[in-house]
Structure 1
Amino acid sequence: MSSSIKHMVIFNLHSGKDTPEAEAFLKDSATELAAIPGVQQFEIFHQVSIKNEYDYGFSMIFANQIAYDTYNNHPVHQNYVATRWLKEVSQFQEIDFINY
């Protein structure tokens, strides 16, 4: 039996925090990424702690490794990474968890 995967990424944008460009990036990201087959419970987060240097976060769940791999290889995701993520994100940390 395979476990669901919680995929999370925290990041900063070249455009800064709480800018119109950041808001557009977050909105567009939700529209594009949440529509990819296999993505469940897509969420966007805004950092409130001074203990962390990242401004934003995305979280989503995949039913299993196959769904996660399908997402990573999906043309919409590949295009998003090439045309938006690599150009607009200044730094990030990605984590993937399964239940313990």
Structure 2
Amino acid sequence: MKRIYGLALLFSLTLLGGCASTSDTTPVHGIKHVVLVWLKNAGDPQDRSTLIKHSEELRSIHGLVDLQIGTAVPSDRKIVDDSFDVGLVMTFADQKSMDTYIKHPLHQEKVKTYFAPLSHKIVVYDIKF
């Protein structure tokens, strides 16, 4: 249940804007690809920094309209899931663009070389809007 509330919060924050952005113009319709990462070494600043650094390099992949990267906001509210270490919110114009991004060699390399080895758990939500 907490996971659903966490998604609702993350989706709300996405609609309101966020951290580093690749574009000043986000499409009105498209797909949000939300990736939440729990590190093997939970809270480790170096591992967190490594994932954020390598996530930034994903901006060069054609078809990615917007990329926001951040960390969980600590909260005492039961409705908020603040247990993840790094969150990415990507915007794509359509399903085809997202599928192309996911298959892109740079994305595949980052997942294999950094995300998989450093992560305890990764959860992905794809939201059509």
- Give the TM-score, by structure 1 length: 0.84
Question: What CA distance in whole angstroms lies between the structure 2 residues aligned with 1:72 and 1:58?
Answer: 14
Percentage of identical aligned residues: 31
Looking at secondary structure, tell me which structure has more strand per residue: 1
1:41 corresponds to 2:66: yes
Q: Which residue of 2 aligns with 1:97?
A: 127
Q: Which runs of 5+ in 2 are unaligned?
A: 1-28
Q: Which residue of 2 aligns with 1:12?
A: 38
Letter in 2 for 1:67: S
Q: 8 Å contact 1:38–1:67 — kept in the other structure?
A: yes
Letter in 1 for 2:55: S
Letter in 1 for 2:45: T
Question: What CA distance in whole angstroms lies between the structure 1 residues aligned with 2:98 and 2:44?
Answer: 30
Q: Which residue of 2 aligns with 1:62?
A: 92
Give the CA deviation at 1:88: 1.0
Q: Quick one: structure 1 residues 7 and 70, their matched pair in 2 at CA, closer, same or farther if it must change by over 3 Å?
A: same
Question: What CA distance in whole angstroms lies between the structure 1 residues aligned with 2:41 and 2:55?
Answer: 15
Task: List, as ranges, runs of 4+ consecutive aligned residues in structure 1 with deviation greater than 3 Å.
Answer: none
Q: Deviations over 1:73-99 (max 9, x none)?
A: 111111111111111111121100011
What SS does the corresponding residue of 1:17 show, helix, strand or coil?
coil
Q: Which has the higher contact order (CA 8 A, sep 6+)?
A: 1
Q: Which runs of 5+ in 1 are unaligned?
A: none
- Give the TM-score, by structure 2 length: 0.67
Could you say what the CA RMSD is over the residues aligned between the two structures, in angstroms? 1.5
